[in-house]
């Protein structure tokens, strides 16, 4: 019998792993959820949505009536299992397919979410793709909103790590972001980084 919020979160996490193929470390995702609760998102954009495991696992951090857009390079996943979990939390889901044309995909995203509270980047982990995802979608994030990168410590893909290191050295990125933290729990964790957009909305494009 579930008696605490922590136990309920664990049950949601286990459900997302079993039914939606979620591939994230429990401790790292719990830290992400903690930061998301501080934002209380109602507009969430995920790049690399696959089967919807991430949004199913973090659904309880979102407000009632949240709009979620999931973008993936594969044919748009309209996963009934993930959508069931989202409906339980009153989240409206939209699934888009990215065919390599960033401008076309951005137009589709903007038509649904012109402004974003949380952006989760977990698509193709090459440096080129991570940079492309950032440059295409990060400007949609509202001041005080979050950008979350997954697989920061992956041994197979160094794109997220390289890009974040580049951001730290660049003044324009440091001006855009007023807070950054990282969570990494070996041996199973792949690492996450969370950035918060500067509250004074400095435009660095």
Listed by start position, the domains of the chain span: 5-197
Q: What local confidence, expressed as pLDDT, does residue 1 receive?
A: 57
Q: What local confidence, expressed as pLDDT, does residue 5 receive?
A: 80
> Quick one: what percent of the chain has pLDDT higher than 90?
57
Q: What local confidence, expressed as pLDDT, does residue 205 receive?
A: 43
Region 105-128 average pLDDT = 95
Task: Name 156's Cβ contacts closer than 8 Å, sequence gap at least 6.
Answer: 125
**Model confidence over 21-58: pLDDT tens digits?**
898 899 999 999 999 999 999 999 999 998 899 999 99
Region 146-161 average pLDDT = 86
Q: Is 15 left (phi over 0), alpha (psi -120 to 50) or beta?
A: alpha
pLDDT value at 201 more than 80: no
Q: What local confidence, expressed as pLDDT, does residue 120 receive?
A: 97
- Domain at 5-197: CATH code: 3.40.50.150
pLDDT value at 204 more than 50: no
Q: Is 59 exposed, middle or buried (0-12, 13-18, 19+ CB in 10 A)?
A: buried
Region 118-140 average pLDDT = 94
Q: What local confidence, expressed as pLDDT, does residue 79 receive?
A: 67
Cβ atoms of residues 153 and 193 within 8 Å: no
- Which helix (H) or strand (E) segment is 180 a member of? strand 177-183
**Model confidence over 56-83: pLDDT tens digits?**
999 999 999 999 999 998 765 566 788 8
Beta-carbon count within 10 A of 78 CB: 12
Q: Give the bridge partners for 141, in sequence order.
A: 116
Residue 50 has which token pair?
């696959």
Q: What local confidence, expressed as pLDDT, does residue 2 receive?
A: 56
CA distance 33 to 15: 16
Cβ atoms of residues 57 and 30 within 8 Å: no
**Model confidence over 90-100: pLDDT tens digits?**
999 999 999 88
Burial string for 23-32 (b: 16+ CB within 10 Å, else e) reads ebbbebbbbb
């Amino acid at each position: 019998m579930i008696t605490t919020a922590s136990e309920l979160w664990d049950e949601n996490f286990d459900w997302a792993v079993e039914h939606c193929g979620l591939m994230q470390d429990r401790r790292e995702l719990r830290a992400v959820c903690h930061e998301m609760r501080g934002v209380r998102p109602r507009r969430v954009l995920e790049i690399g949505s696959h089967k919807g495991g991430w949004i199913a696992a973090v659904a309880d951090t979102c407000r009632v009536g949240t709009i979620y857009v999931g973008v993936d390079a594969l044919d748009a996943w309209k996963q009934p299992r993930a959508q069931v979990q989202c409906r339980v939390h009153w989240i409206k889901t939209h699934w888009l397919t990215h065919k390599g044309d960033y401008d076309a995909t951005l137009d589709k995203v903007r038509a649904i979410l012109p402004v974003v509270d949380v952006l989760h980047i977990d698509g193709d982990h090459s440096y080129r793709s991570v940079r492309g995802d950032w440059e295409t979608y990060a400007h949609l994030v509202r001041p005080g909103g979050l950008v979350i990168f997954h697989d920061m410590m992956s041994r197979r893909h160094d794109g997220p790590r390289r890009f974040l290191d580049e951001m730290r050295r660049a003044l324009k990125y440091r001006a855009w972001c007023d807070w950054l933290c990282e969570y990494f729990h070996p041996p199973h964790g792949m690492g996450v980084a969370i950035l918060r957009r500067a509250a004074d909305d400095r435009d660095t494009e």
